[in-house]
Amino acid sequence: MTDSLRSHYITDSDGLERLCGRLHRSSRLALDTEFVGEDTFVPRLELIQVATDEVVAAIDFPALHSQGKLDCFWEVICDPRIEKVLHAGRQDLELFTTYAGRVPTPFFDTQIAAAMVGYGAQVAYAHLVQRLHGTKLAKSHTFTNWSQRPLSREQLAYALEDVQFLLPIHDHLRSRLQKLGRHDWVREEFSRLEEAVGRRVEEPQERYRRIRGWDSLTPRAAAVLRELSAWREAEARKRNAPRGRVLRDEVLLQLARQRPTTREELRSVRGLHPFEIERHGETLLAVIRDASALPPSAWPAIPRERRPEPESAGLVELLQAVLKALAVEADMAPTLLATTADLQTLVEAARRREHPDLPLLSGWRRRLAGETLLGVLAGTIAVSVDPTTGALRLTPQDRV
């Protein structure tokens, strides 16, 4: 990015149309957003930052959204000829998908790519800028109120920094990926992220799985929780209010456990406000009644946590050591390959001769580490310690 780069603050449709004309001519865009998410169901988008090699701009979302003038911008970011470059971009992609109606592909997430080439898992944008560009970003507006107007020059300058360095970082990471032969790896990760973003606008009946403690319920109670959660999702969307402002997670759990059948029983549920009972009591009772009457075939399957056998704990620790050795060799954080829970699942599945659906056992992760770990569990790879270096040695074994 050159010193002559021009910056713009876009607040009207004419300015946006001129900007979009320039953006359309670029093969890639750096993107970021500023939003406020505490008071609404869908986070309230306040500012969109965008940059090419020639221009950097901040788009005042409320000003243009109220005029219904953002269609040309959604066309740009959904153009399949233009690569969208973001850092830790899941929330940005979710917002763009909400307003544009589809996931803006293709995209390149610099945080994911950085993890693939040795910069550590979940590296911060400011860290990459300082390491690769030598510039230390200011943090003076980290907790600024982006909904206030007018925005100050300092706020805009701070916001634009979030895209000003993305394209040079993109260049560097592409070069590193090419050198290491990991373009296919990062494309797999981007595909996984695209699927996750698409699922974010998920069917309401799957939202209950995000409620902590749902898997401690009986299957029938979990069915009630599922339907209550789906009702809350629809109600929160209708009110454009945070889910917790409709009913908190812990209240949903109590309703699912107790399954009240009368308003009097509803009043005994801790945390359920009398106003909500007055407003939605009959609806809640109907949801609980109908869900309780579902046949067992319609109940969710509850994942039951098995107590690890003593020998399993040792195997998990062995796999952790092997995984760490493979990650160090690949200059990659072990957590990017698998979690301890993944390894526990792998050990238990091997004992039962099952094939678990784990990221570790598909794509580049399987090639880099999964096959080796399976070999260790199967006894086709021996693990020993090099007496000179102290490093692990992995030796293929002939099976008779």
User: What string of DSSP letters covers 51-102?
Assistant: E-SSEEEEEEHHHHHTTT--HHHHHHHT-TTSEEEESS-HHHHHHHHHHHSS
Beta strands in 110-157 (DSSP E): none
For residues 365 and 116, give the distance between their C-alpha atoms in angstroms, rounded to a whole number.
Answer: 11
For residues 162 and 30, give the distance between their C-alpha atoms in angstroms, rounded to a whole number.
Answer: 9
Cis status of the peptide bond prior to 80, with omega within 30 of 0 = no
pLDDT for the residue 140:
60
pLDDT for the residue 309:
63
Work out the percent of the chain whose per-residue pLDDT is above 70.
Answer: 93
pLDDT for the residue 330:
93
For residues 93 and 370, give the distance between their C-alpha atoms in angstroms, rounded to a whole number.
Answer: 30
CATH placement of domain 310-396? 1.10.150
Per-residue model confidence as pLDDT tens digits over 278-298: 999 999 999 999 999 999 999
What is the rounded average pLDDT of the residues 80-97?
Answer: 96
Q: Are the C-beta atoms of 365 and 186 separated by less than 8 Å? A: no
Beta strands in the chain (DSSP E): 6-10, 28-36, 44-51, 55-60, 83-86, 107-109, 381-385, 392-396
Band of residue 360 on the pLDDT scale cut at 50, 70, 90 = very high
Residue 264 pLDDT exceeds 90: yes
Q: Are the C-beta atoms of 78 and 102 separated by less than 8 Å? A: yes
pTM of the model: 0.84
What is the rounded average pLDDT of the residues 97-117?
Answer: 94
Nearest residue to 246 via CA among 237, 254, 258, 255? 237
Q: Which of 174-188, 191-205, 257-271 has the lowest mean pLDDT?
A: 191-205
Q: Does domain 204-298 have CATH number 1.10.150.80?
A: yes
For residues 23 and 55, give the distance between their C-alpha atoms in angstroms, rounded to a whole number.
Answer: 9
Residue 304 pLDDT exceeds 70: no
Taking each helix axis from N to C terminus, what angle separates 219-239 and 274-292, rounded to the nearest 10 degrees? 130
Band of residue 25 on the pLDDT scale cut at 50, 70, 90 = very high
Per-residue model confidence as pLDDT tens digits over 114-131: 999 999 989 999 999 999
Domain 310-396 in the same topology as domain 6-200: no
pLDDT for the residue 384:
92
Per-residue model confidence as pLDDT tens digits over 59-80: 999 999 887 889 999 999 999 9
Residue 306 pLDDT exceeds 60: no
Ranges of each domain in the chain = 6-200, 204-298, 310-396
Centroid of chain to Cα 201: 13
pLDDT for the residue 400:
47
3-state helix, strand, coil in the chain (%, to 5): 55, 10, 35
Please, which residues have CB within 8 angstroms of residue 163's CB and are 6 or more apart in sequence? 30, 31, 32, 49, 50, 51, 56
Please, which residues have CB within 8 angstroms of residue 94's CB and are 6 or more apart in sequence? 197, 200, 201
Q: Does domain 6-200 have CATH number 3.30.420.10?
A: yes
pLDDT for the residue 64:
93
Per-residue model confidence as pLDDT tens digits over 207-225: 899 899 999 999 999 999 9
Both structure tokens of 154: 């300092």
pLDDT for the residue 4:
40
Beta strands in 87-159 (DSSP E): 107-109
Amino acid at 335: T
Backbone torsions φ then ψ of 189, nearest 5 degrees: -65, -40
